[in-house]
């Protein structure tokens, strides 16, 4: 199957990189400093029949969804020149990211199980796209550097 047919356009990757830093900072602030935007406060009667909200501020949800969306845009957007070799690098990178995810889960379960385990699981949900991006970009960087030296 030709992966380039199901990948997002290259311009989405740029949008993902632009959104990554602000949402990563917002996620960090929400997780460690309990930062909240007052304009995302829900009134007590809003959606009370559908959801049971203990925390009525949606800053955490905005941060997580924004970070996941930016990582998605970066991970699944085409390169400027998408060919079979880049598709192979993508598949290899996603496989290694999954291996890393499971390894982190095992290590985290052994090391953090208890009070900090929920925090570990929260941050581990971002590990597959982060590991994929790191590995894929590293291989692409090395490939570009090697091609530049061989000319």
How far apart CA 118 and CA 123 sit, in angstroms, is 9
Convert the pLDDT of each residue in 122-138 to its tens digit: 889 999 999 999 999 99
Convert the pLDDT of each residue in 90-117 to its tens digit: 999 999 999 999 999 999 898 888 868 8
How far apart CA 87 and CA 96 sit, in angstroms, is 14
- For residue 27, pLDDT over 70 is answered with yes
Model pTM?
0.83
């Amino acid at each position: 199957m030709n992966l380039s047919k199901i990948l997002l356009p290259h311009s989405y990757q740029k949008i993902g990189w632009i959104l990554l830093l602000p949402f990563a900072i917002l996620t960090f602030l929400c997780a460690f400093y309990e930062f909240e935007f007052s304009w995302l406060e829900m009134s007590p009667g809003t959606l009370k029949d559908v959801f049971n909200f203990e925390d009525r501020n949606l800053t955490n949800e905005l941060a997580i969804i924004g970070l996941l969306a930016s990582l998605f845009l970066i991970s699944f957007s085409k390169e400027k020149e998408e060919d079979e070799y880049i598709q192979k690098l993508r598949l290899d990178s996603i496989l290694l990211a999954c291996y890393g995810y499971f390894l982190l889960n095992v290590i985290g379960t052994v090391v953090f199980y208890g009070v900090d385990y929920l925090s570990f699981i929260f941050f581990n949900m971002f590990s597959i796209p982060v590991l994929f991006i790191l590995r894929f970009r590293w291989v692409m960087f090395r490939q570009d550097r090697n091609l530049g030296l061989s000319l």
